[in-house]
Structure 1
């Protein structure tokens, strides 16, 4: 039976250079710096690559992010992989735990991470499973 963790998070996305890409070109790279609050008390760090389409509202990104902290009383870390597509304003986002990336009390974690933004505040719903010990 899956567990559900909910809460909010803050995110910073400092710009990083993209090798071979002109400044303000269609490709971009960002550092991910997050602080999760709620059922997941943790920090997140990683990198994001993105590309803008030629039509307004079309873009895509991929990211890899390590999350380290406490999830429902269990300490450890895990890695999330992001895949986001925006097709002329229609958004599709998939964020999942990388298999076998969990450490310590989060070893064996699997799951799907959902993000929603309401009035400028970022929220998460994390549906996950841990093996029985």
Structure 2
């Protein structure tokens, strides 16, 4: 296994609502560090975050380089919050890689989230 550290900033814009989701957002992330590039995707949310119980799913397509290899990867997130306690799964979609990133699998872990909105991330590739 190898790991790479990176960070991203995210811009989100509300989208048209769809059945089964409380809110829908378009997202664009700018990646720096050992992941350089841009990802674009969609997030759907449900629940009541005011009470500490909610969840979201997101799918995004990353285009750029990871560890010096270039191509695209699909990333998926599943986040829940129960009683204010968060849980997050963030993965590279198997079979989604193109170019030098073909065959790439693994997970992402979000670390510190800075006041300026920058998220620290560690990719663990399998």
* TM-score w.r.t. length of structure 2: 0.91
Aligned pair count reads 124
Per the alignment, in what secondary structure is the counterpart of residue 13 of structure 1? strand
For the pair shown, the structure with the greater C-alpha radius of gyration is 1
Change (3 A) 1:20 1:104: closer
> Is residue 71 of structure 1 aligned with residue 66 of structure 2?
yes
1:53 Cα deviation from its structure 2 partner: 2.9
Write the mapping of 1:105-116 to structure 2, written as runs, cut at 5 A: 105-116=100-111
Question: Hey, what's the Cα distance between the residues in 1 that align with 2:44 and 2:64?
Answer: 25
Indicate the RMSD between aligned Cα atoms, in angstroms. 1.8
Secondary structure in structure 2 of the residue aligned to 1:105: helix
Unmatched runs of 5 consecutive residues or more in structure 2: none
Q: Using the TM superposition, give the Cα deviation of residue 11 of structure 1 relative to its aligned residue in structure 2, in angstroms.
A: 0.3
Gaps of 5+ in 1: none
Length-normalised TM-score, structure 1: 0.86
CA deviation profile, 1:38-84 (whole Å, cap 9, x unmatched): 00001010000001238611100001110110111111011011100
Report SS of the residue matched to 2:100: helix
